[in-house]
Amino acid sequence: MDVLSHALLGFIIGQALQLDTSLQLVLIASSISLDIDALSIRGREAAFRSHRGPLHSILAAIAASLLIATGYTILMHRPMPTVFTVVPICFAGLSSHLLLDLFTTGNMTALWPFSRKNLALNLTHFFDPIFLGALILAAFLIINTKTDVNHIQTIATVAVAFLALGLGVRHYEKNRTANFVKGLDKGTAFEIVSFPTIRPDRWWSVKKIPFENGYRYEIYRIDSAHNKILGKDSVESPHIDHTGPAQPPIDSPRKAIACSKRDKRVKASVDKFLLPAASITLSNEDSTWEVFWYDVFTHIGKEESHGILARIKVDGKITIETRQTTTI
């Protein structure tokens, strides 16, 4: 979720707990600190691969809680046992960050290193104006309530309950949308994946239909309030699940796909994609395969898509670059 929502929730929790100013700042800092993995001096590709990776995990939250609490204790010249008081406060902020991100669209390795499975509940957009508005209103009311502890805690409780209710409604709408799309074609085997938009009554619902060792994605834009299809698109991406041998010579699209996935940068990017797809072309000039991996989800409704390109020679030599394309 956006940084402001994370910070506001940290502020509201801190006020409900009646923390002093310094600990309040620690809680807010903890609630936004995990997004440091979205920064990279190596560029956008590296930032994309690292964001919501190991730093967005329960183990990282525990380690960061100890680190922040120790730093606070030293900087504030407090007795070392203070660490054990501050750690739960830090963990509350870090946990709130993980929880909010879990509800949004975007894979997250929350169970790393015990599992590298990507988790995402896809219930709300990463920027949700309704949730953000509720948090801003709650923060404003708390600031103007001054020192009435009961009122502050009541406002905080109502704000959190509103968020929980909103997520419950989104879960209902998501299932309703998926069931609607399933009912359009009962004779084909497919998986349904639904993604929220910035509007609570608009959803992307995607059929993942097995197709030549890959998928055909049928993408529906749904008005969930009226069970109405607002638009439809389709993307075919064969061979992307091929895991066979990739030994030279690289003389087929399947081998090119398998060879590209052996590169760590490609694999890390593809693991992050919600709906991975690949465009495969062969240059007649130098017999080089171009495998452009991209996320169908980020391509929806856009004229260009950001992804990672693997150029593969017949002898298996790979060069990697990022690019934007309008030819998908």
Give a yes or no: residue 155 inside a domain: no
Domain membership of residue 242 (yes or no) is no
* Site of tokens 């946990």: 95
pLDDT in tens, 80-133: 999 999 999 999 999 999 999 999 988 888 988 898 888 889 999 989 999 999
Inside any domain, residue 101: yes
Q: Assess whether 13 and 117 both reside in one domain.
A: yes
Domain boundary among 99, 127, 155: 127
Based on the fold, state whether residues 203 and 258 are members of the same structural domain. Answer: no
Q: Which domain holds residue 110?
A: 3-127
In a domain, 228, yes or no: yes
Neighbours of 146 (CB within 10 A): 8
Partnered with residue 282 across adjacent β-strands are 289
- DSSP characters over 128-182: -HHHHHHHHHHHHHHHHHTT-HHHHHHHHHHHHHHHHHHHHHHHHHHHHHHHHHH
pLDDT tens readout for residues 251-303 = 999 999 999 999 988 988 888 888 999 999 998 777 899 999 999 887 665 54
**Are residue 316 and residue 275 in the same domain, yes or no?**
yes
Q: Are both 270 and 303 inside the same structural domain?
A: yes
Q: Tokens representing 127?
A: 């920027």
* Full-model pTM: 0.86
> Which residue has better confidence, 166 or 47?
166
* Any domain includes 306: yes
In the prediction, which pLDDT does 47 show? 53
Q: Are residues 105 and 193 in the same domain?
A: no
Residue 70's region, left for phi above 0, alpha for psi from -120 to 50, else beta, is alpha
Percent of the chain with pLDDT over 70: 92
Q: How many domains does the chain have?
A: 3
Average pLDDT value over all residues in the chain: 89
What confidence score (pLDDT) does residue 303 get?
47
Answer whether 315's CB lies under 8 Å from 265's CB. no
**Do 10 and 109 belong to one domain?**
yes
In a domain, 87, yes or no: yes
Whether residue 222 contacts residue 230, with contact meaning beta carbons closer than 8 Å, is answered with yes
